[in-house]
Chains A and B, each alone.
Chain A
């Protein structure tokens, strides 16, 4: 158990819909990262937050947004969903940099 909790574990929705994925980092970790994992693209970095502030942005679509709350949990919002958004979405946390601790992921299926 990495100590990172992600909900929901599975989510099935339709195209055009909006979903929210939630992540609780390890106790004491200030950084939260979001990654998208698909079969053909591997693990793609989406965005990083550090202590409530956006620190780095990767290949995150404009339809996606994230935030980190004062209690350090984070949410990833995915809107206007398309079939190609079906993937595993991982949250990871770290104290600052270095070792990332990953949750078990949220599997999103868009039908």
Chain B
């Protein structure tokens, strides 16, 4: 079964610090790697995404780092704020092979302490 392994399961970071969440995948056919953010009582919402032709993508305080050879990618949240407290999911899919739905990691519960 295709898998995306996410760590850590939970993370506590002080306000202003850097939050780092890691994911690893097995299927080398994956070619689309998004991160979703979910607040309690809400559905997941796309935060940032990357394709494997680049090693890094930055949007504001959020950065995806991608290592194709290691089959790993990570989310960095710079200057973490209490409003960033949420559950974060990495995901992957094989868009080039046909839409087969995103395979999600199990999520990271992030708490930013004031």
Contacts and interface: CB of A to CB of B under 8 A. Distances in A.
A96 B106 CA distance: 24
A44 B91 CA distance: 11
Given A104-B42, A104-B43, A42 B99 contact: no
Contacts of B36: 102
A48 B7 CA distance: 27
A56 B106 contact: no
Contacts of B105: 42
Contacts of A96: 99
Contact of A43 (B32, B49, B89): B89
A44 B107 CA distance: 12
B95 interface: yes
Contacts, number: 65
A103 interface: yes
B99 A31 contact: yes
Contacts of A58: 100-101
A42 B93 CA distance: 16
B60 interface: no
Contact of A55 (B32, B95, B99, B102): B99
Contact of A98 (B32, B42, B43): B32
Interface of A: 2, 4, 31, 33, 35, 41-45, 47-48, 50, 55-56, 58, 90, 92, 96-105
In order of increasing CB-CB distance, the 6 nearest A-B pairs are: A102-B43, A42-B106, A45-B101, A43-B104, A56-B100, A97-B99
27 contacts: A2-B45, A31-B99, A33-B101, A33-B102, A41-B106, A42-B89, A42-B105, A43-B107, A44-B104, A45-B100, A45-B103, A48-B101, A50-B99, A55-B98, A55-B99, A90-B44, A96-B99, A97-B93, A97-B99, A98-B32, A98-B49, A100-B102, A101-B46, A102-B36, A102-B45, A104-B41, A105-B43
